[in-house]
Chain A
Amino acid sequence: MTLIQKLLAGAGVAGVVFAVAGPAQAAKLAISCGAVGQELTLCKEGVTAWSEKTGNEVDVISTPNSSTERLAVYQQMLASGSSDVDIFQIDVIWPGILGNHFIDLNDYMADEAKAHFKPIIENNTVDGRLVAMPWFTDAGVLYYRKDLLDKYGEKVPQTWEEMTKTAQKIEEAERKDGNEKMWGYVFQGRAYEGLTCNAVEWVASYGGGTIVEPNGDISINNDKAKQAIATAAGWIGTISPDGVLGYDEEGARGVFQSGNSVFMRNWPYAWALANSADSPVKGKVGVAPLPKGEDDGQSAAALGGWQLSVSKYSKNPELAADLVKYLTSYDEQKRRAIKGSYNPTVADLYKDKDVLAANPFFGDLYETFTHAVPRPSTVTSTNYNKVSADFWQAVHATLSGTQTAEQALPALEHKLKRTRRSGW
């Protein structure tokens, strides 16, 4: 509101001002985005720009870094119908879980949504309602040691089988050279959501589906899936340390970044850190799409990333939707991509000169990002966390050798069928 508007409002002609100024009536919004750190700073900058443009005040609420804790807080607030927070930043697997509490953004930005990656929009659409706008995306990628591949005359592996062989060869040779701590491959093997991402990638890359198909069928008990998980189980103790069964993203990055692994599966965030000034592997790292399952498979990256949703308990849903529109727009995503390497969800940004200059590998990974495989969170809706937990437990048991894939997957299928008893 300008000063004049304020004076007018004070003079008792607020009704007129309202009619003239329309939605610019100053209101207070609260947005929950990110935890303390760079993520929050970027969010605050974007929010400030919008509130200067529109004259509305916005509180930025920070939430815990751990997504399980964040989900718990959101659930508590939303279940009680609290209007304290208008806009929630939600994980890509939450639209099905929390969708009930959010408004349909198709009413506000159906056109804008078309510019974003289709798989994410589909992922965020629950029963025909667009419950969240994509904000930034994430996808699993393969990190490799350029210097070691060159040293041993190996190529970047195209299949998991090639990767296994290359890793084995370099690991053995390096160990003979006295590098006792050398391993071939590290990934996220701890029994948590990260393992579901990894294992979905293996299974999908062999053409074994995505646990539960978009039509609701439980597909996990198939030979391709068994082959994929059995292959992964073969890595433990040979090219991957036993400890990988306890690693999360940072556990894996620690090993890779100290120079003790040839390959690593991780999210794009590790790129900047692996190339930071004091990193032992600075300048020696390459990024590639994850390998395929055998020659007839396809590279599959788990879809990650965060979305913005508007609570249906919000007192100003229209304004909140406008802020979401602003934050997910081309220009704002561009700013975030350049300043913080956040992967845009607007497809055109991957051809943007400035974005590519700041993040050279975005161009190579365009395919990976557009074809990322979503976890079956939208179809399984509120049951997703249960499906995922059963899945990672089955995979973890197979990796740790207490079960074979042959035993684990039929049992998993049975469990999932029990969960589905009353429909997803």
Chain B
Amino acid sequence: MRVVLAEDLFLLRDGLVRLLEAHGFEIAAAVDNGPGLDRALEELEPDVAVVDVRLPPSFTDEGLQCALRARRRRPGLPVLVLSQHVEQLYARELLADGSGGVGYLLKDRVMDAGQFTEAVRRVAAGGTAMDPQVISQLLQRSSGDDRPVSRLTPREREVLELMAQGRSNAAIAGRLSVTERAVAKHTANIFAKLGLEVSDDDNRRVLAVLAHLDAA
């Protein structure tokens, strides 16, 4: 799997390259600035891009803008955005086209190499990987007294949280130490309570949940 990596801090870039290579990824390019990222995304056609939000030369949200532009050129191009802080505003922009294949994680998450590489693979496969912080903020906002989310049981809420992060039923089952069947049952309940249509497709399911939470 070919990865384009954009990170301006040498130590982090170097660490990420080694981490990804150790887990069987091929680094097509590792760049340290926005224009370089633009070129690499255009010319190298990677399977997934791992991008820092803030890049030179402007040190604003150049990485995010490059990623969004690349996805407009090539809809569905898998992009995993990393940042020192997470903003729902950015998550919303990444999810706006509704085509999946996006990730948005705190940089802290790279400390758990297993989970991080799993997230990269998930995004590359067209799934989503949303940072737990983004999801908990979303849930907090959509948990007002008269909202559908407030009718969920604590367990269903946990499942919803993990699902919204982009995890599969199997992963959720493993995380909560329950059977996959139990997770499927919770999922069906959640969709009924939120008034969403059940879909077999994992990715579409996640996007529907995120859209519902964001609209609340």
Are A and B bound to each other?
Answer: no
